[in-house]
Structure 1
Amino acid sequence: MAHRSRRQPPKVDHLPPVELTIESMTLEGKGVAHLDGKVIFVEGALPSEKVKARYTLQKKSFDEATTIEVLEPSTERVTPKCVHYSLCGGCTWQHLAPEAQIRYKQQAMLDQLKHVGKVEPATILEPLHGDLWGYRRKARLGVRYVHKKEKVLVGFREREGSFLAELNRCEVLHPSVGEHLTDLQALISSLSQKERIPQIEVAVGDNDTALIVRHLEPLTQQDIEQLRAYGQRMNQHIYLQPKGPDTVHCIWPAEPVLYYEHPSFNTRVDFGPQDFFQVNQSINRLMVQKALELLNPQADETVLDLFCGLGNFTLPLARQVMQVTGVEGDAVMVKRAKQSAQLNEIHNTDYHACNLMDDEALKQQPWIKRHYDKILLDPPRAGAIEIMPYIGRLKAQRIVYVSCNPATLARDAHELVHTHGYRLSSAGVMDMFPHTSHVESIAVFDK
């Protein structure tokens, strides 16, 4: 049987650069222009600018291009801090002033709510601002030994293509890693299996930094000793991952502990290097404070915290209400949330492991049949559409929804407002990921 070849996109190398006037910007941060009636999405271009751009892709309904020269710059254009910015794909908005970044993100959220959710907030909340640089505490760094250069690269992929960018430092990564990429490159270069190490995962707590080194072949004892020595020298936890996620194990120190704190609520959240946690600690603290302020918890109330994770909201909430029920799909994180509650001497929480996107699993849960005065939810990018019917039946007086995807927030807002009788009281954005197009938002729904 003949195999049908996959259709390749037309080559664009022969096309000359074009001059474009940028009309607007997409949610992903690309400039939008039109040429001969066809839309062109332009990387690195800002609204109101005139640019010279090179084609990178042509399709029937649209083209893509990248800016090679800014002919008439926007007043919102700034000089990127990172020397690798034009090459690295780790962040794509450093050329846009921070105050403009958050304004575009707010407008993106409002547009999604209006056009997808068919709702508009009664009040637009002031944006939450935090650290602009060195904020990223969770990352997966690519690793590659390049024979031609006889050099190990550690970092993010290039903006165009699948190759790793050659980086000396990263301005958005936490300084314990971002300022030491060359040290990591030297470390991997010294190992016998440098060609069989594809990635390093980074997790940074308030107390220490952890690195998970993925290796496709067994490491020698000398390799392990060099990794352990690096951990001791840099005061970092070193983990190895020989196969799947369940093979991750620590080689330094003997009893690793990672945690972050919410000083305003006198709580500490312990976590493992593979656990999900918010990457921007300064924004996370402000976000939890704002979420609780908006939820307005009372001492005699019960609260349901859906997608509770490690207890990021659950533990602070427990300081202010009668009882908090946390529900999370990851059983390991539920176990850790329980341990953190004990560590903080919090005794008015209960936790349940449940796949909140599985209707059959939800039907059998005892916690879904209880009464709750208020609900807080912080779902993944896919949103919380599967649990919306259950939230509707619970009839809580107030819901605070923390979102990392304005499209699914808008879709779920449509359900809450138009199906379950809530109104969208307020909504706002938080600058969780400066210099990227990622939009983090928070919304309040009242009966």
Structure 2
Amino acid sequence: MARRRRKQLPQGSFPATIESLSHDGRGVAHIDGKVTFIPTTLQGEEIQFHYSYRSRKHDEGILDSVDKASDERVEAGCAHFGICGGCSLQHMAAEAQMAYKQEALMDAFERIGNVTPEAVAAPLHSEPWGYRRKARLGVRHVFKKGRVLVGFRERGTSYLADIRHCKVLHPSVGEHLEALGDMIMTLSISEQLPQIEVAVGDDATVMIFRILEPLTESDEKTIADFCAQREWTPYLQDGGPQTVKPLHDAATLTYSLPQESLQFEFLPNDFTQVNSDINRQMISQAMEWLDLQGDEKVLDLFCGLGNFTLPLARRAESVHGVEGDTALVERARQNAIRNSIDNVSFDVANLYDEETPAFKWAKQKYDAVLLDPPRSGALEMMPLVAKMGAEKILYVSCYPGTLARDADVLVNQHGYRMVKAGVMDMFPHTAHVESMALFVKD
């Protein structure tokens, strides 16, 4: 059978007017009636671009020049922007980024959920550089360059971007990527080390080196010395998540919520929020919105290691946290003990399992429910949550589409009002939208 020939792309540069932005932050233009996505452009701009991909349904292009710039365009803060896929919105002013995310949330509510919040909260925002405390970095030995690259993938490809530093990573790590690659280049397994996971706590930084072959004694010394110079603690991972272990001594990773007088301990590969400042603001806003009076019984679903559970316990009569990860639940229990909190309890449960309603905790009534599900949302939980009789439901979301879908169930099927909602800029310079919504039943 003859192989189908790849369609040749039109050559040259073409004019376009950017009409809007897509959900992932790319500019949207219509060329001869067909949708064309062009990254690093802004609404209203007149630009020149060349084609990078064509299909029957849509085309994609790459910006060549801007003939008429938007007032929201700014100079990118990182020299690698446009090549590295770690950021997508550095060309957009900070205020415009937040407005774009707020608009994305409101659009999802209207288009997917057929709901409208009674009030829209001001976006939560913080320092847009050096904020990222958790990251998974790719590592690749590129023979043509004679170097080991460490960082994120190039925009739209599976190749690693050739970056020397990263301005959104915590400075204790982001300023050392080139040196990190140079160190890995000297290892006997430089081609068998595909990934490094970063975890930055308040007083320690852990680097988890994913290795496909054992290290030699010399390799171990090289890694240990390099990390010691930067006050990093090296860990190794030679299999699944359960194989993560320190190269030598373990580190104690913690983060704090000063406004709550709370400190949390976590392991390097535990889920924690990447942006500590926004996390603190998020907790404060959640507590303010719920406005607990001290006599409430509260349920915290997808509770993790107790990020919301323990602040809730400071204000409620009792809080019950439920999480599917056994290790995180154990961490939550230990964090409660660490902070001398004794009005909390926890259960391990797969909250998407059809048997969930049979659990004892799921049959009880609560005054308030907080849930912080993954990107897939909590559609399966909505009827159960609605039956718990809670006056207030606080939903923390990392994807507007599933929040809007679930809000539709609470509002249009179970009689809750969405009294307020707003975004939290957890990932500045990206199109990622974190949000919070409060539902009340009178």
Do the aligned residues in 1 keep the contact of 2:323 with 2:348 (CA within 8 Å)?
yes
Q: Which residue number in structure 2 is paired with residue 242 of structure 1?
A: 238
Q: Does the 8 Å CA contact 1:10/1:57 hold for their aligned counterparts?
A: no
Task: Give, in whole Å, the separation in 2 of the partners of 1:261 and 1:11.
Answer: 55
Runs of at least 5 residues in structure 1 that lack an aligned partner in the other structure: none
CA distance in 1, matches of 2:6, 2:244: 40
Q: Does 2:144 correspond to 1:145?
A: no
Q: Give the corresponding residue for 2:270.
A: 275
Aligned with residue 385 of structure 1, among 345, 363, 379: 379
Matches of residues 21-420 of structure 1 in structure 2 within 5 Å? 21-252=17-248, 254-360=249-355, 362-420=356-414
The CA distance in 2 between the partners of 1:179 and 1:282, in whole Å, is 20
Deviation at 1:404, TM superposition (A): 0.5
Alignment-mate amino acid for residue 270 of structure 1: E
State the one-letter code of the partner of 1:298: Q
SS at match of 1:264: helix
Of 380-389 and 221-230, the range deviating more from structure 2: 221-230
2, 7, 31: which one pairs with 1:10? 7
Counterpart AA for 1:352: D
Give the counterpart letter for 2:123 in structure 1.
Answer: P
Kept in 2, the 8 Å contact 1:78–1:95? The answer is yes
The Cα shift of 1:265 comes to 0.6
> 1:190-215: per-residue Cα shift (whole Å, max 9, x none)?
21111111010111111111110011
Looking at structure 1, the residues matched to 294 and 243 of structure 2 have their Cα atoms a distance apart, in angstroms, of 43
Q: Which residue of 1 aligns with 2:436?
A: 442
Report the Cα offset of residue 39 of structure 1.
Answer: 1.4
Q: Is the contact made by 1:299 and 1:320 (CA closer than 8 Å) also made in structure 2?
A: yes
How far 1:117 sits from its partner (Å)?
Answer: 0.5
Equivalent position SS for 1:196: coil
| 1:31 and 1:44 in contact (8 A); partners too | yes
The superposition leaves residues 255-294 of structure 1 with CA deviations (integer Å, 9 ceiling, x where unpaired) of 4210100001111111111111110111000000001100
C-alpha change, 1:11 and 1:359, in structure 2 (3 Å) is farther
Q: 2-side partners of 1:126 and 1:49: how far apart?
A: 27
Q: Deviation per CA, 1:18-59, whole angstroms, max 9, x where unpaired? A: 100111111111111111111111111110100111111111
Shift of 1:183: 2.0
Quick one: distance in 2 between partners of 1:142 and 1:386?
34
Q: Retained in 2: the 8 A contact 1:11–1:57?
A: no
Distance 1:404-1:8 versus aligned 2 partners, 3 A rule:
farther
The separation in 2 between residues aligned to 1:408 and 1:64, in whole angstroms, is 27
What value does the CA root-mean-square deviation take over the aligned residues?
Answer: 1.4
Q: Is the 8 A contact 2:208 2:236 kept in 1?
A: yes
Q: SS of the counterpart of 2:24? A: coil
Structure 1 residue 319 displacement after superposition: 0.9
SS in 2 for 1:123: coil
Query: Does the aligned pair in 1 maintain the 2:204–2:251 contact within 8 Å?
Result: no
Aligned residues of 1:9 and 1:59 also touching (Cα < 8 A)? no
Q: Deviations over 1:231-252 (max 9, x none)?
A: 2221111110112221111114
1:355 partner letter = N
The Cα offsets for residues 377-408 of structure 1, whole Å up to 9 and x where unpaired, read as 11100000011111011020001111100000
Q: Which moved more, 1:58-67 or 1:300-309?
A: 58-67
Q: In structure 2, what residue type is equivalent to 1:56?
A: S
Runs of 4+ in 1 over 6 A off after TM superposition: none
Offset, 1:8: 8.0
Distance change in 2, residues 1:222/1:306 (3 Å): same
- C-alpha distance in 1 between matches for 2:157 and 2:115: 39
Q: Find the residue that maps to 1:304 and give its secondary structure.
A: strand
SS in 1 for 2:270: coil
1:358: Cα distance to partner? 1.1
SS in structure 1 opposite 2:153?
coil
C-alpha contact (below 8 Å) 2:25/2:89 kept by paired residues:
yes
1: CA distance, partners of 2:116 / 2:6:
40
Shift of 1:121: 0.4
**In structure 2, the residue corresponding to 1:124 is in which secondary structure?**
coil
Letter in 2 for 1:206: D
Distance 1:231 1:298 in 2: 48
Asked if the contact 2:382–2:406 (Cα under 8 Å) also holds between the matched residues in 1, the reply is yes
The 2-side partners of 1:271 and 1:185 are apart by 27
* Amino acid of the structure 2 residue aligned with 1:156: F
Alignment-mate amino acid for residue 190 of structure 1: T
Q: In 2 relative to 1, CA 271–11 (structure 1 residues): closer, same or farther, beyond 3 Å?
A: farther
